[in-house]
Chain A
Amino acid sequence: MRRLAVASVALALVLSGCALSGLAFREDDRVTILEPADRAEVTLPLTIRWSSGGAGPYFAVFVDREPVRPGQSLRAVADDSCNRTPGCPDVAYLRERYVYLTDQTWIDLDVVARRGGSQRTSADNRHEATIVLVDGEGRRIGEAAYTVEFTVRDEEAS
């Protein structure tokens, strides 16, 4: 009986945690990041530019944070008080949280978050931007994510 219960729980987890459709098995190369080059050393302000290849209509760029889950709205980034406020989150609110929503194929990055504590290492200047596709309601489309890593020269982070 106990075995059956354990097996049932495991099966339920598998069924709730797995799917057979809507999964991406081949690389989605509709978006190509043009600049900066991967692992490049840059100065701020920085422009991140990409080619869309018909993807879109919107792009969300997450800097130094994981993107929302596929199908999830960008509202997941906002806190409760914002979500109770009409019109929030807006583009400005998201930018403050290093999420850039755009229908263009570039963004300007003025600041990046300062990482590390008082004892900073070279790794603390390393940053990562991840571009995902979103629809008109701000929901992430598909699993495709495009990432570029760059290092900001010291003393330039906010």
Chain B
Amino acid sequence: MNVDGRNGDGTSPLDDLDALEQARETLRDRARQVLGVSGAGAADLPPLAEGIARSGVGWYPLAALSLLIVVDQFQTWGFAILGPEVSRALGVGKGTLAFLVLLKTLSVMVASLPMAAFVQHRTRRALVAKVTAFGWAIATLCSAFVINVWGLLVVLVADGASTGSVEAVHRPLLVDSYPPEVRVRVLSVYRAAFAAGTVIAPLLVGLITVVAGFTWRGVFVVMGIMCIAAAIVAVRLRDPGFGRWDTDRVRAAVRDASPDQGEELAQRDVELGFFEIVRRLLLIPTIRRILAAWAVLGMMIFPLYTFLFFFLDERWNLGPGGRSLLMAGVWAVAIPVLFVFGRRGEAMFREDPAKVIQTATRSLVVFVIALVVAVTSPFFVVMVVGFTGVFAVAALLQPALNIVMLSIIPPEMRSHASALAGIFLAGVGGIGGVLLLSGVDRRFGIAGAIASVAVPGLIAALIMRTAARTVNDDLDRMIDEIVEREEIQILEAQGRHLPMLACRRIDFSYGQLQVLFDVDFTVDDGEMVALLGTNGAGKSTLLRVISGLGLPTRGSVNFRGQDITYLDAERRLGLGVTQIPGGRATFGPLTVVENLRIYGFSLPRRDRDVSQGIEATFEAFPRLYERRDQLASTLSGGEQQMLALGKAFILEPRLLLIDELSLGLAPKVVSELLEMVRRINAGGTAVVLVEQSVNIALSLVDHAYFMEKGEIRFDGRAVELLDRRDLLRSVFLEGASKGLA
């Protein structure tokens, strides 16, 4: 780079970024194809076997995980069907048993998120799947040997905690194992395996008790042994790595578009922590909507299971055997439905992911109609047909929503999203639904309670409809992120200069109110930039996005070639980004020295470094030294700003963001502060100065931005801004331009 910030070939860093922009549309189209959204529909859709053969891993991961999802349900069904026998044999109340089963459900949810955290950035999902499979196998086997409530507590919670892996790692493993063109079918087969488990488990219970004459203990012994056998079968599972079939292929497509890519690229992304990932997921509109839909669906599906058994008992006088057979029958029908949906859903996803959600939404309406028919019908056959429709639709919702959810997020976040979906479905929805419908049951009876789940069904359909509108934008957003990251790495590897800070296409909202619109903002190494604009233009908000106090709804923040868009503010501090917020950025009840020491605690600095920083602050602002033991709240406005600037001496940031330094201060104090800002900048720290006063800002900087109504209206040399009276008119204007002239 030359001293004027230009590349060796005379182009500016901004030219590089603009070049990225031009190539983005082409790359986005290629990336969508790579991710399976080719727009081709059913044309050229490879048969499942061919797609699986192409994956190189064969059927084994799908078969092994499907086997595990079958046996995963054994203990649950065992206790559901044999609960009364367990209760009588152990002398444990039904209420106690129901409470313990609820604890098991809670432990599934509680365990799934730590598991997601355990596997983030590390390819050990297969290990977790295998270990937990043995965990629930042993818990199922031990269920046969419990003699009291403590034993029940341990085996139920242990089973729940280990089956948390089903939410956290099974589906992400499948999605990463197989290429996009077969994923809907793979997820449908997996879901069909779940349905098969729902058929097999009750039949197995009946077979072992009625035919073989075993007690509930015998049932758990047999089931436990089968679980262990399944866990042994799955022992060859291997983690395929993150994004082998999607993000890696998109990156490769980007590299193909830039043949001159220099040395092997280093993976320098700043890895997000657990909570950063969760927060980042919740910022994606489609994910938010799908999670909300899961919660509402949970209110519908979980109570339905509970109340359905009572309904069949009371309304149709069906005993445990009849109820089990009916459930097995209706789930058996769901299996072929899932196979049909797999192929059709794949074609829909290829054509347009939104169509998958729209189909799921329409299916939900069918669900509601079938449910009402089933509950109100005076004919047994109609009731059975109605519930068959209900469960067939309920079965296909899972693969439909999962393929969309897991396709619009980076592979490393799939475990988190999957675990969150489980929590929203079973936790928020399931528990909320049971509590809600218990009241409906008391008022309108069991049929009324079941019919009332039609209401959350319709609400979920409405939520899913809105998700269909955002899914393509979110898919493109993910593609853009991958493309941009890869392009930046290529440019770096080629030795091209990039700005130290590059904010690209930033959108930001406070709730429903969007305040930043497609903002591009760059700062070079050691540069001092002014960010000007009217009140409420979004200047302070942009600083918050850069420092991490606010997270954008779209766009990226790259700092020194690293994507820090969703990094926590304190981690950005460690990278060298420091903000001095507007107003009194000090702790009033603490003394001057204590304030300065507190700044030092922000980073793991040694005492000696902090002391040196404090000395440097006192050297720069002797007045602060005189007031070193005084409370910050008793300082004047100018002194408080001096104290706030002391942060820069202690933290020695690479990028200092200063918000409204001069507001309400006397000119003499302002000039003293500005001199210090100049010195900080001369020491190598890049500075972004947010100012309302144009004359102050432009006296300091060469490069200025002007914001209005959340958009960047000017980006260029400071002196050129003075010629833009159309912009300056609304602000401070004539006086400022005259002053500088």
Task: Give chain A's interface residues, CB within 8 Å of chain B.
Answer: 10, 13-14, 16-20, 23-29, 38-39, 66-70, 72, 119, 121-123, 126, 130, 132, 140, 143-145, 147
Contacts and interface: CB of A to CB of B under 8 A. Distances in A.
B705 to A, nearest CB: 52
Contact of B209 (A10, A27, A70, A143): A27
Interface string B212-244: 011101100100000000000000000000000
A13, A18, A23, A132: which has the most chain B beta carbons within 10 Å? A18
Interface in B102-161: 142, 144-155, 158
Contacts of A66: 87-88, 91-94
A26 B217 CA distance: 8
Given A13-B154, A17-B151, A70 B89 contact: yes
**Size category, B interface:** 35 or more
A22 B221 CA distance: 15
A18 B146 CA distance: 4
A69 B148 contact: yes
Nearest to A25: B218
Given A18-B142, A25-B214, A27-B209, A67 B88 contact: yes
A25 B446 CA distance: 35
A119 B314 contact: no
B603 interface: no
Contacts of B310: 123
A67 B93 CA distance: 9
Contacts of B214: 25-27
Nearest to A145: B88
Contacts of A18: 142, 145-147, 151, 154
A122 B221 CA distance: 37
Contacts of A13: 150-151, 153-154
B317 interface: yes
14 contacts: A10-B158, A13-B150, A13-B151, A14-B154, A16-B150, A16-B151, A25-B214, A25-B221, A27-B213, A66-B94, A67-B91, A123-B314, A123-B446, A144-B89
Given A17-B147, A27-B215, A119-B443, 10 more contacts: A10-B158, A13-B154, A17-B149, A18-B151, A20-B145, A27-B214, A39-B317, A66-B87, A123-B313, A144-B89
Contacts of B94: 66
Given A17-B151, A147-B84, A25 B93 contact: no
Given A13-B154, A39-B319, A147-B84, A23 B92 contact: no
B606 interface: no
B697 to A, nearest CB: 55
A119 B147 contact: no
Nearest to B315: A122
B442 A119 contact: yes
Please list the 9 inter-chain residue pairs (A to B) with the smallest Cβ-Cβ separation, ordered nearest first. A17-B151, A69-B91, A17-B150, A145-B88, A143-B89, A18-B145, A25-B218, A13-B154, A19-B147
B326 to A, nearest CB: 16
Contacts of B314: 121-123, 126
Contacts of B317: 39
A26 B216 CA distance: 9
B91 A147 contact: no
Contacts of A144: 89
A147 B88 contact: yes
Given A14-B151, A119-B442, A123-B314, A24 B217 contact: yes
Interface in B64-92: 84-85, 87-92
B88 A130 contact: yes
Contacts of A25: 144, 214-215, 217-218, 221
Contacts of B262: none
B445 interface: yes
B142, B151, B221, B442: which has the most chain A beta carbons within 10 Å? B151
A121 B445 contact: yes
A126 B314 CA distance: 9
Contacts of A69: 90-92, 148
B214 to A, nearest CB: 6
Nearest to A131: B88
Interface string B441-461: 011011000000000000000
A68 B147 contact: no
B211 to A, nearest CB: 11
A68 B91 CA distance: 5
A30 B475 CA distance: 66
A41 to B, nearest CB: 10
Contacts of A28: 215
A24, A27, A121, A130: which has the most chain B beta carbons within 10 Å? A27
A157 to B, nearest CB: 17
A140 B147 CA distance: 14
B115 to A, nearest CB: 16
A150 B209 CA distance: 22
A28 B221 CA distance: 17
A70 B445 CA distance: 36
Nearest to B97: A66
A18 B155 CA distance: 10
B154 A10 contact: yes
Contacts of A119: 442-443
Contacts of B158: 10
A16 B446 CA distance: 39
Contacts of B149: 17
A123 B149 CA distance: 28
Contacts of B89: 24, 70, 143-145
A121 B311 CA distance: 12
A23 B144 CA distance: 9
Nearest to B150: A17
Contacts of B84: 147
A68 B92 CA distance: 8
B91 A17 contact: no
Nearest to A116: B442
Given A18-B145, A70-B89, A121-B445, A26 B213 contact: yes
Contacts of A14: 142, 151, 154
A50 B84 CA distance: 20
A156 B90 CA distance: 32
Nearest to B92: A66
A67 B158 CA distance: 27
A147 B213 CA distance: 16
A59 B214 CA distance: 23
Contacts of B93: 66
Contacts of B85: 145
Contacts of B221: 25
A84 B177 CA distance: 68
A17 B90 CA distance: 11
Nearest to A18: B145
A58 B88 CA distance: 18
A29 B144 CA distance: 19
Contacts of B91: 66-70, 72, 140
B85, B88, B445, B446: which has the most chain A beta carbons within 10 Å? B88
